[in-house]
Amino acid sequence: MDTNIARRNFMGRLAAVLGYASLAPLGLSAQRRGRQEAAAAVKSALDKKADYDKFTKLANNENPYGPSEAVMKAMTDAWKYANRYGYPDGGIVEAIAELHKVKPENVVLGCGSSEILKIVDDAFLPDHKLVVGVDPTYETVYRYATNSKAKAIALPLTKTYDADMKAIIHATKLNARDVGLVYICNPNNPTGRIVPKDEIKLLLDSIPPDVPVFIDEAYHHFVDDSNYESSVKYILEGRKVIVARTFSKIAALAGMRLGYAVAPVEIIDMLKPLVVSYNVNAVVKYGGAASLKDIAHEAKMKQLNKQIRDRTTNELKAMGFEVIPSQTNFFMVNVKKDVAQVGEEFQKKGILVGRKFPPMNEWLRVSVGTDDEMNRFMKAFKEVFPAEKTTQSKA
Ligand SMILES: Cc1ncc(COP(=O)(O)O)c(C=O)c1O
């Protein structure tokens, strides 16, 4: 048999065995078709992105103003590390350690705080069956727990939409042997409520000291309630506490992906082997370090957020809607209608709002945008909930 035919037959049989359409090199027209398909896919992705760009984005609790000038400059300068990276860290770990008055050994960086949430689960849940927390909360920790086949004891909120600390303590003590982690989102996403400092202390004093308490402080910077404090101080006291922070919120670096955990050295030593090597890129390390120094920008973001949040929520309350008092850059309003449907109505008007957070199915979570964005939101809100219905909802 002609060797070429024999080769083609062999390749055909191998392709059939492997389940591939063909192992023969692509012909020119197939290559062209492939490129055309790829170009079409890129165009469709760009079109979707252009569509997304047109929306007023009040769904993800991001900072609507963007990073400060100093942060942009630090990131722009750091592009020089793109090819010969040399693994510089821009002093970010030292800057975080200095901020919290801990040692660099107390810090691990994550590709966003999402990576921190994952590795804390990975570290503490394989040998345990349970994570204790509230419902609703930022449920990523519960989702990652399933990797270890662990389950969440997700306790209902109180009538004021706060964490029920007595219930958390009770559930933890009752299941102490099986509890690998207690997760407290403080302030809580999606409610915007804080857990007061006395209750955090009560929790730590009440549960067995070997149960790690994981406190997610993603929205720490927006809080101005004097009953709130960061839990980093308990790490300095030698308690088994892990605090997660992110640069995605007040620092406006959500797309750049940077977060970290502060914890006792023994815990950081457990967490470090679980991250991907070099998980954080040079550009955001420099940007993050610059943002920690830019206290004026942080204060401005906090003040603008509070001013615009309070103006919007006061307006909603004046219309007769119940709003949960928030300490964050988002708030929940009771729309007395299924939020999935309400979300679609807003989307038709070019506004993206928060998804449904069961069991609070009729509470809409709205991220605080700029003045303009919130004006657009209020205009749409009045269209979705016209005055006569609003009056009814008051009754
Ligand atoms: C409470 C909380 N924790 C963690 C995250 C994850 O943020 P990132 O991975 O962008 O740091 C979010 C994001 O919205 C959040 O709301």
Above 90 in pLDDT, residue 29? Answer: no
Q: What pLDDT does 24 receive?
A: 46
* Residues 77/78/81/87 CA torsion (nearest 10 deg): 150
Task: Please say whether the beta carbons of 357 and 190 come within 8 A.
Answer: yes
Sequence-distant (6+) residues with CB within 8 A of 157 are 134, 135, 136, 163, 164, 191
Cα–Cα distance between 89 and 236 in angstroms, integer? 24
Which of 96, 188, 246, 253 has the most ligand 1 atoms within 8 A of CB, as the residue to mutate?
A: 246
> Can you give the pLDDT at residue 89?
84
Q: Which neighbouring-strand residues pair with 360?
A: 357
Mean pLDDT confidence for 15-20? 40
The HSE-up count of residue 367 (CA atoms within 13 Å, CB side) is: 21
Which residues are within 8 A (CB) of 292 and not within 5 positions of it... i.e. 6 or more apart?
92, 95, 96, 99
Here the tokens at position 302 are: 């906090």
Nearest partner of 332 among 194, 190, 220, judged by Cα: 190
Q: Which residues contact 70 (CB under 8 A, 6 or more apart)?
A: 290, 291, 293, 294, 297
In this predicted structure, the answer to whether residue 238 has a pLDDT above a threshold of 70 is yes
What mean pLDDT is predicted for residues 133-156? 96
Looking at residue 48, what is its pLDDT?
74
Under a CB-based contact definition with an 8 Å cutoff, are residues 390 and 333 in contact? no
Structure confidence by residue, pLDDT tens digits, 172-185: 999 999 999 999 99
Q: What is the largest CA-CA distance in the chain?
A: 90
* pLDDT of residue 336 exceeding 50: yes
Tokens linked to 144: 């990652």
What digits encode the pLDDT tens for the residues 189-209?
A: 999 999 999 999 999 999 999
Q: What is the mean pLDDT of residues 309-322?
A: 98
Cα–Cα distance for residue pair 368/62, rounded to 1 Å: 8
- Ligand 1, atom 12, lies closest to the CA of 218
Assess contact for 138 and 218: CB atoms under 8 A: yes
Residue 315 has pLDDT above 60, yes or no: yes
Round to whole Å and give the CA distance between 47 and 341: 25
Asked if the model's pLDDT at residue 221 lies above 70, the reply is yes
Between the CA of 359 and the centroid of ligand 1 the distance, in Å, is: 20
Higher pLDDT, 28 or 381: 381
The yes/no answer on whether domain 56-65+296-394 falls in CATH 3.90.1150.10 is: yes
Give the range among 38-42, 176-180, 227-231, 241-245 with minimum mean pLDDT: 38-42
Length of the chain: 395
231's CB contacts (< 8 A; 6+ apart) are 186, 200, 213, 215, 217, 241, 243
Distance from Cα 220 to the centre of ligand 1, integer Å = 12
Domain ranges of the chain: 3-43, 56-65+296-394, 69-294
State residue 21's pLDDT score. Answer: 41
The predicted structure's pLDDT at residue 35:
76
pLDDT for 128 equals 81
Q: Pick the closest to residue 172 from 134, 135, 132, 121 (CA basis).
A: 132
Q: What CATH number was assigned to the domain covering residues 69-294?
A: 3.40.640.10
Ligand 1 pocket mutation, candidates 189, 243, 326, 328, criterion most atoms within 8 A of CB: 189
Res. 12 pLDDT band, cuts 50 70 90: very low
Instruction: Give the separation between CA 67 and CA 192, rounded to whole angstroms.
Output: 23
Atom of ligand 1 nearest to the CA of 254: 10
| Dihedral sign (CA 124, 127, 133, 139) | positive
**Predicted confidence band at 389 (pLDDT cuts at 50, 70, 90)?**
low
User: What separation in Å is there between the alpha carbon of 19 and the centre of ligand 1?
Assistant: 41
Predicted confidence (pLDDT) at residue 337 exceeds the cutoff of 80: yes
Q: Write down the mean pLDDT value for the chain.
A: 91
69-294 and 56-65+296-394 share a CATH fold: no
Q: Is 321 in the pocket of ligand 1 (CB under 6 A)?
A: no
For residue 1, what pLDDT band results from cuts at 50, 70 and 90?
very low
Indicate whether residue 250 lines ligand 1 (CB < 6 A).
Answer: no
Residue 61 in contact with ligand 1 by CB distance below 6 A: yes
104, 94 in Cβ contact below 8 A?
Answer: yes
